[in-house]
Structure 1
Amino acid sequence: MSAHRQTEDNLHYSVSMLEPDDFAFWRHKARQLVQSNIPPERVSWSEAGGCGDLFSGGDTQLPPVPNDAATVRASKRFLSLAKNVVLHTDLERFALLYGLLWRQQSNPRIMEDKTDNDVRRAEELDKAVRRDSHKMHAFVRFRMVELENGEEHYIAWFEPDHHIVRANAGFFKRRFANMHWSILTPRGCIHWDGDSMRESPPARRGDAPCDDPTEDLWRKYYASIFNPARLKVSAMMSEMPKKYWKNLPEASLIPELIANAQKRESQMVAAGEQDFQAKPETLEEVGTAINRCRNCPIGDCATQAVMGEGPKNARLMIIGEQPGDDEDKAGKPFVGPAGQLLDVHLEKSGIDRKDAYVTNAVKHFKFVLKQTARGKIRLHQSPAAKEIDTCRWWVEAERDIVKPKLVLALGASAARVVFGKTVSISQARGKPIPLEDGSELWITAHPSYLLRLEGEARATQTQLFDADLAAVQQRLVQL
């Protein structure tokens, strides 16, 4: 071997990252090193400057890639993992990844070895970064400030553990596309003006506003959904560590809510025992009872309970899922877009809604708050099985009083509140199902499902929906 070749083989190379989260730069340098046949022990990786200075320094000159260099092997799993590992703050992350990339050239399946120390370490770093990103998605709280030109701008403060800010900019751009916002962090800031994203240097906590008029909304909403019967302090602290509390308006309520949890749980149990002693004997009594019902958290969330309406001796009872935003405000069932669509198709089938008793499986509106440029809006959230089963008490009371010949369930939640278990709409629709009280259950889709569809899918499902209603109408004529 020539003296020149021996010298090349003993060279040690240093790669200085220009940015701590630049996966594309790392990948470019790593490919160049692999194709130049430079093993991991002869490469040093560092963030620019070596002491946290991310904007200075350069690379030791790397050798040119040979013309006959082989293609670099990298599994999809490795690339997916590496994109997150690069965002970690571990100073050895670049060397760890290069070592794994180097080993893949002779062992393409190394990433499948769960006992390998380097693979396990990369998975640990990946998990930590994903968890940090999850916390950013969950715990960023925007506060509104009014600019000098009168425009509204929303500012949030967040303290990430890792270099995740730039990587998560797209999430917030998609979620709050119509807002003008800034997320300030000690690791750098991102800003969205509705058209373009820009970055700025790290900020301090004092650069962000402390509160705004919407803080009371967050606190009220959090208090309304807090269920003392399901409280597990250790699990809550794991999911919502105290380090994030100072940025969350609702966090000020947590100590008091925990302290009073046992008392509130006892009150809920007592109220439940009182409500469930005997079923109401009139629809008026049902209406009074559901307004004071707090047997599940939804009762504290909505504006009011929404009672069914229609003739007390209706031959047809129509059951939906739950009140929506419009129904919650009006206190009447099926007055929103889904209700208006239902009216159109009922009329088309020959069913007069005025002759039917219309109600819902769940009596309160379950929702989540979403921040928009115009403020927070309430978005429908499907009730859980336990919540449907709790409200079954009230639906059974309505059925006992009205005594309908036919029950039309719109959607899976409505079918469950009658059956007591989940059923397949596609398998059960369009045919009578005998019930113990001598009535028949008919199942079809909920009209809100049709509203979510487009094109051919909507046309197909609308045709099925109309066929189901027509079959119900024919059965009503026969009875």
Structure 2
Amino acid sequence: MFSTGEELSLFSEDGGEELEPLAVKVPRAYPKLVAKVICHNAPDRFALLYRLLWRIHSGERHVLQISADPDVICAMRYARAVDKVVYRMHAYVRFAEREIEGEKVFAAWHEPQHRVLRLAAPFFVDRFSNMEWLIATPFGTIAWRRGELIFGPPAARPAERGDEVLDELWTAYYRTTFNPARLRVKAMVAQMPKRHWNTMPETALIPDMVQTAGLRVEAMQSRTPDTPPRFAAAVTQRIAAKPPETGHAPLDVLRREVQECRLCPLHGPATQAVFGEGAPEASIMFVGEQPGDQEDLNGRPFVGPAGQIFDRALAEAGIERAKAYVTNAVKHFKFEPRGKRRVHMKPSAGEITKCRFWLRREIVAVRPKLVVALGATAMLGLTGQSVAVTKERGNVLFFDGLSILVTVHPSYILRLPEPDMAELEYGRFVADLKTAGQRLAAA
């Protein structure tokens, strides 16, 4: 039944007794389309949805897949319009601190084109769940009070915002991020319609910024570049230098230098760079992917859950970790925060490529007879090429003077859901390490 609560049901006649609803099986796309189209203000939206429903019931089950159908074109246009209004509500709501019923509440007035409160609400609950807030519109009100989402009736537009502190923050942010060299007035107005300007404090700056944009661009062009600080310049020169083709830097020097690396953004959120450790002139070098959570905190490679499997497998393979050298292709921990946890994220090819600078210098310094690549990321860091680990596992490949034995990363074993499969893969991992030991003995 399509109804706003103010109109007659489609299944009633002149407000009289309702007819028995007709059960109709619809494709999954139809309810999703209804959820958006019904929020549009077009007076024909209910008739349009009912017409599509009747066509589906009458045998046109795939009508929504016909992009040239007039009804589908209209419904999709309504849905896109609603999506745009939801996006603008997320972007243009500006809260002001107010006192309501003796409590401090962050309130906002917004004027959406369509009835999108229920579609937009989850974003605000997720983003501002730690504060009490209220958003009033001509179509209704949503409030987050004491951990409960409440929908209410329409509200009257407030006379003023009443929060100088938040207004100053918004205007300062907008002023400092405004780039006069990229000013496109028509595009700006299309993206930020003027009907929202009176509820956004930063928009008071727009007329002056537009008027003075040309002068600011001229000033920027005539200004001499800032000279970087000596420390930043020294770091830039050091990390941008090409790794030496001959000779080697002592590992202790590299370990200090890597802490200053700024080749990629991973250094920002990470606690520290995690350099390799082990015998300075080890015959065998193990290369993993990147530090994990425990490694990032401790500053040592392979000390977390994957490191425990690695140590146990080394012992079973007859390889002493103290006589080996262990490192990673990427030196900083890449993660995604989820609550209090830091969830591992796979480094990108660009990040791996930039970190080859340090890995190659480690190899030059240690000069191992055999390198064991633990996983595809390690192979990419060592060779700059993608290698199918499952295909080359247990084989020794030769690249740029290196002998590289390919196997899996121990974290792969941790991720296997079935204990039997994990035990089988662990046995194969130990066998690969034994092969490495035999290769090393025969070298």
- TM-score (normalizing by structure 2): 0.67
2:15 matched to which residue of 1? 61
Q: Percent identity?
A: 34
**Which of 396, 399, 414 is the equivalent residue of 1:451?**
414
Deviation at 1:388, TM superposition (A): 0.6
Which residue identity is paired with 1:119? V
Look up the match of 2:263. 295
Q: Indicate how the Cα distance of structure 1 residues 291 and 81 shifts in structure 2: closer, same or farther if over 3 A, else same.
A: same
For 1:17 and 1:166, locate their aligned partners in 2 and report how far apart those are by CA, in whole Å: 13
Q: Distance in 2 between matches of 1:190 and 1:206?
A: 17
Give the aligned partner of residue 75 of structure 1: 27
Distance 1:264 1:326 in 2: 40
| Local SS of the residue matching 1:442 | strand
The residue aligned with 1:112 is: 65
Among candidates 35, 53, 70, match of residue 101 of structure 1: 53
Give the match for residue 416 of structure 1.
380
**Partner Cα distance (2:323, 2:86) in 1:** 53
AA aligned opposite 1:462? Y
Render the CA deviation track for 1:87-137: whole Å, top value 9, x for unaligned: 445555333322322343446133222123331232233345556767899
Q: Check whether the contact 1:415–1:443 (CA below 8 A) recurs between aligned residues.
A: no
Q: Which secondary structure does the structure 1 equivalent of 2:136 belong to?
A: coil
- CA deviations 1:273-326 (Å, max 9, x no partner) are 542334262223322332222121123332322211111111221112222233
- Rate the CA distance shift 1:114–1:469 in 2: closer, same or farther, 3 A: same
How many residues in Structure 1 have an aligned counterpart in Structure 2? 386
Contact 2:396–2:406 (CA under 8 A) maintained in structure 1: yes
- Report if aligned partners of 1:425, 1:445 keep a CA contact under 8 Å in 2: no
The answer to whether residue 163 in structure 2 is matched with residue 199 in structure 1 is no
The within-5 A match list for 1:262-411 is 274-279=238-243, 281-282=248-249, 283-370=251-338, 372=339, 377-411=341-375
CA separation of 1:333 and 1:87: change in aligned 2, threshold 3 A: farther
| Residues 135 and 142, structure 2, Cα contact 8 Å, conserved in 1 | yes
1:200 CA drift (Å): 4.6
Q: Contact (CA 8 Å) 1:191, 1:199: kept in 2 or not?
A: yes
Q: 1:185 and 1:337 mapped to 2: Cα distance?
A: 46
1:251 is aligned to none
Return the offset for 1:424. Answer: 2.4
Corresponding residue number in structure 1 for 2:212 = none
Match of residue 151 from structure 1: none
Instruction: Name the residue aligned to 1:473.
Output: 437
Is there any run of 5+ residues in structure 2 with no aligned partner, and where?
Answer: 96-104, 202-219
Deviations 1:54-75, CA, capped at 9 Å, x for gaps:
xxxxxx5266447xx9753633
Q: After superposition, what is the alpha-carbon deviation per residue over 1:215-247, rounded to whole angstroms, capped at 9, x for unaligned?
A: 9xxx9xxxxxx9xxxxx999xx99xx7889989
Cα distance change, pair 364–166 in 1 and its aligned pair in 2 (3 A): same
2:209 counterpart residue number: none
Q: Is the 8 A contact 2:405 2:436 kept in 1?
A: no
Q: 1:123 aligned to 2:76?
A: yes
2:268 match: secondary structure: helix
Q: Structure 2 CA distance, aligned partners of 1:156 and 1:401?
A: 61
Give a deviation string over 1:430-449, Cα, whole Å, max 9, x none.
Answer: 222222314223231342x3
- Cα deviation digits, residues 173-212 of structure 1 (max 9, x gap): 9x89xx8776643364465978xx553538999899x89x
Equivalent of 1:433, from 376, 397, 403? Answer: 397
Q: Is contact 1:311-1:357 (8 Å) kept?
A: yes
Deviation at 1:408, TM superposition (A): 1.8
- Distance, in Å, in 2 between the alignment partners of 1:385 and 1:331 is 23
CA–CA separation in structure 2 for the residues paired with 1:133 and 1:377:
30
2:205 maps to which residue?
none
Equivalents in 2 of 1:132, 1:270: separation in Å?
A: 49
**Is the Cα contact below 8 Å between 1:367 and 1:381 reproduced in 2?**
yes
* Stretch of structure 1 that moved more, 154-163 or 422-431: 154-163
User: Is the partner of 1:433 in helix, strand or coil?
Assistant: strand
* Aligned residue identity for 1:311: A
Find the aligned partners of 1:171 and 1:461 in 2 and give their Cα distance: 43
Provide the C-alpha distance between the structure 1 equivalents of 2:409 and 2:358, rounded to a whole number of angstroms: 22
Aligned CA-pair RMSD = 5.2
Q: Conserved in 1, the CA contact under 8 Å of 2:92 and 2:200?
A: no
Matching residue's letter, 1:366: K
Contact 1:169 1:190 in 2 (8 A): no
Residues 442 and 105 of structure 1: is their aligned pair in 2 closer, same or farther, counting only changes over 3 Å?
closer
**Where does residue 149 of structure 1 map in the other structure?**
none
1:395 deviates by 0.7
